[in-house]
Amino acid sequence: MAETETAPTTVEINDAIFCQHFKEVCSDCGYDGREENDAFFGFDFIDREGIEAPAAIVNKDGNYQCKKHALTGKSIILFGFGTLSQCNQCYGWKKQITRLRTQAKKAGKK
C-alpha cells in the first residue's frame, strides 16, 4: 500500500495563512505559506523569514482573538454599539512581512 502525503492543517488569521502551530514556516509539519501570504498582500515572493501568529484563542464566534489584547483579527461592526477593532499590533501581517522582506534584501546585499 502506497503512503499518501496529507497537506498540513492550516488556519487563517486576518487574511494570512498559518499551519496548525501558528507558524508561516513550520519544520514540524513541513508547511511553508510565505509565497501564498506574500501574493495575498501584493508582494512577489522572496526568501525571507516566516512570521508567527502570537498566542491566540478562538472566541465563541469562531474568530481568532489575540490573548495579549483580547481583540479579534477582523473588525466587527456592532450596530448601535460601534466597532470592535482588530488587533493591528498582533495581526498587522503586511507591516510584519514588509519588515522581514527588507531584512532579507539587506542580508542578500552583504
* Cell 498540513, residue located: 8
The answer to whether 52 and 107 are in contact (CB under 8 A) is: no
110 within a domain of the structure (yes/no): no
2 within a domain of the structure (yes/no): no
38 within a domain of the structure (yes/no): yes
Return the pLDDT at 108: 87
Residue span of the structural domain in which 86 resides: 10-104
At residue 83 the predicted structure's pLDDT band, cuts being 50, 70 and 90, is very low
89 within a domain of the structure (yes/no): yes
109 within a domain of the structure (yes/no): no
* Number of domains forming the structure of the chain: 1
All 3 cell numbers of residue 4? 499518501
pTM of the model: 0.75
48 within a domain of the structure (yes/no): yes
Q: Residues of 70-101 as b/e, b for ≥16 C-beta within 10 angstroms? A: ebbbbeeeeeeeeeeebbeebbebeebbeebb
Return the pLDDT at 67: 83
